[in-house]
Structures are given as C-alpha cells and as structure tokens.
C-alpha cells in the first residue's frame, strides 16, 4: 500500500486580496472566544500573506519582534495589534452585541 504524501496547510498562501484577509480576520474574531493570542496568530497569518518585511517597515517594528508577537504563543500589546492592523490596511469597528 502506498503512503499518501501530505503537505502542511498554510492559510497565508490562500489570503490573496484585502477582502479575503478581512473576511479571515472577521471569522477569527468570531471564533476567538476572548483568546487574544488566537487573534494575534490570525494577524500573523495575514501579515505573512502580505509580506512580513513590508508589515515590519509599515509598523516600525522589527520582523523578529513581529514574528514573536504574532506567533499565537503570547498576547501582544494592544498598540502592536493596532499598528499591525493599520499596516495591513484593515480597520477595526465595533457594533452593539446582543443583550
């Protein structure tokens, strides 16, 4: 019996347009259940899709610090999140919840 070769799925390879990036972030925000590291990882996926070097230049942060902050292993500072969102060309918005 032959073994099936598999490759690791990388969502960053499939985020091609700003609309796709925004939809991915929105879906992650809805699924995060308050997990800031999960959101940071989603932003890291989008940053890799856009190009981490460019995002680093646009935020004024080093690539290394961005990789660490957006790894999903920690919760980055909110100012880092805001810088990254701006560098990605995305916007945060709020809406009233239920209740």
pLDDT in tens, 23-43: 999 999 999 998 999 999 999
Answer whether residue 6 is part of any domain: no
The residue with tokens 């969102």 is 85
Answer whether residue 10 is part of any domain: no
Task: Provide the domain limits for residue 38.
Answer: 16-87
Answer whether residue 95 is part of any domain: no
1, pLDDT greater than 80: no
Token couple for 17? 């347009």
18, pLDDT greater than 70: yes
Answer whether residue 72 is part of any domain: yes
Answer whether residue 73 is part of any domain: yes
The residue with tokens 């660490």 is 68
Answer whether residue 97 is part of any domain: no
Determine contact, residues 32/38, Cβ cutoff 8 Å: yes
Task: Please give the model's pTM, rounded to 2 decimal places.
Answer: 0.87
Token couple for 93? 């918005």
pLDDT tens figures, 58-98: 999 999 999 999 999 988 999 999 999 999 999 988 888 77
Read off the pLDDT band of 99 (50, 70, 90).
Answer: low
C-alpha closest to that of 21 among 48, 2, 1: 48
Tally the domains of the chain.
Answer: 1
Answer whether residue 9 is part of any domain: no
């Amino acid at each position: 019996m032959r073994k099936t070769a598999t490759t690791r799925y990388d969502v960053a390879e499939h985020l091609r347009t700003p609309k796709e990036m925004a939809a991915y972030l929105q879906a992650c925000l809805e699924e995060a259940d308050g997990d800031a590291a999960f959101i940071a990882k989603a932003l890291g996926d989008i940053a890799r899709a856009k190009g981490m070097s460019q995002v680093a230049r646009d935020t004024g942060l080093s690539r290394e610090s961005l990789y660490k902050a957006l790894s999903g292993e920690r919760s980055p500072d909110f100012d880092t999140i805001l810088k990254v969102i701006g560098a990605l060309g995305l916007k945060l918005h709020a809406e009233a919840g239920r209740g």
